[in-house]
Structure 1
Amino acid sequence: MEAEREVLDVLARNAREGIDDIAAQTGLDAATVEEAIATLEGNGVVHGYQAVIDWDATEEGKIRAIVEINVELDRETGYEQVADRIAKFPAVDALHLVSGDYDFAVEVLGESMQDVSQFISEQVAPLPEVTQTVTHYIMETYKDGGIRFVDGDEDDRLSVSP
């Protein structure tokens, strides 16, 4: 399991690393790295590999929102069943059961604020268990997926006044 943990650490930083690069960084041989990756994927520890995208830097852009959802459960319906229904929507980028004032935190990706609002009001809010939704539109992203979004033109020098 130690080899798998080392491979996970490298993949979490950069999933594009090749087998030989991972082996060099961890001190493991290439066969051990390949076996660890196969085991991690087979056991459902690694579910996929994705790029971290700064949608604001693209021409078409995307609107991201975090939606708080409260639900009321009955004897036949649990959090898993509600989560399964919400997770099936393509607009749902991430779904988390959370502690605190609401039950679920949902990350939604849409073409516009109206698109996100319409999705919540027409698809999520009408679910029988949903009692309340609160939508927070993301105005600026500074870090996502462990990757910091930094403008390359940023001048961090202190200004000097005469």
Structure 2
Amino acid sequence: MDCSEEILNLLRDNARISIEDISAMTKKTPDEVKAIIQKLENDGVIMKYAAIVNPEKDAGEKEKVRAEIEIQVAPEREHGFDGIADRIYRFPQVKSLYLMSGGYDLKVIIEGETLQEVALFVARKLSTLEGVRSTKTHFILKTYKENDIVYVEQSSDSREGVTA
């Protein structure tokens, strides 16, 4: 594994890790680490640093409604799926957008304040876009794990097991 990949893995695990700690772990000087991170940022490899917040414990997030929408589209000549994807990901409600294989073409994760707001977004914005053939909406009821982060608290049973 090259040093850039090692630094990326450290930052993926903890974006707040200090340059000095990275330097000690990679056996590079702090200036070398800074230069590698700067290059990764300039090249668009590192796009953003963000906090991961448990939606179940954040009152503002807990009230929001999230939905996964499967979309079948007609690809555009010379643009394929990219043209319609570009129009979809520009909506502020869209949190994620993926090109998929299988029974549908695009998967969208959206967020709204109410069920009705999400439903109206799908009915008035998404389904009316030129090239959209059909949509199927699934409301997200609870998040257990996302991006390797487990959101449910693990309860530990301190009782001893009984064997016969």
TM-score (norm 2): 0.87
AA partner of residue 59 (structure 2): E
Are residue 88 (structure 1) and residue 55 (structure 2) matched?
no
AA partner of residue 38 (structure 2): A
Per-residue Cα deviation, 1:64-123 (whole angstroms, up to 9, x for no partner): 211111101242542111111111011111111111111111111221222211111111
CA distance in 2, matches of 1:18, 1:159: 42
Q: Report the counterpart of residue 126 of structure 1 in structure 2.
A: 128
In the alignment, is the contact (CA less than 8 A) between 1:67 and 1:136 conserved in 2?
yes
CA distance in 1, matches of 2:76, 2:88: 17
Moved more, 53-62 or 136-145: 53-62
Are residue 112 (structure 1) and residue 93 (structure 2) matched?
no
Q: How far 1:131 sits from its partner (Å)? A: 0.7
Moved more, 85-94 or 111-120: 111-120
CA distance in 2, matches of 1:159, 1:109: 44
AA partner of residue 143 (structure 2): T
CA distance in 1, matches of 2:26, 2:145: 26
Q: Report the counterpart of residue 37 of structure 1 in structure 2.
A: 37
Q: How far 1:63 sits from its partner (Å)? A: 1.7
CA distance in 1, matches of 2:84, 2:96: 14
Root-mean-square deviation (Å)? 2.1
AA partner of residue 155 (structure 1): S
Moved more, 8-17 or 48-57: 48-57
Extract unaligned runs of 5+ from structure 2. Answer: none
AA partner of residue 84 (structure 2): V
CA distance in 2, matches of 1:33, 1:92: 35
Query: Alpha carbons of 1:110 and 1:139: their partners in 2 closer, same or farther (altered >3 Å)?
Result: same
Extract unaligned runs of 5+ from structure 1. Answer: none
Q: Report the number of matched residues.
A: 160
CA distance in 2, matches of 1:12, 1:97: 24
Q: How far 1:150 sits from its partner (Å)? A: 3.0
SS of the counterpart of 2:85?
Answer: helix
Q: Report the counterpart of residue 11 of structure 2 in structure 1.
A: 11
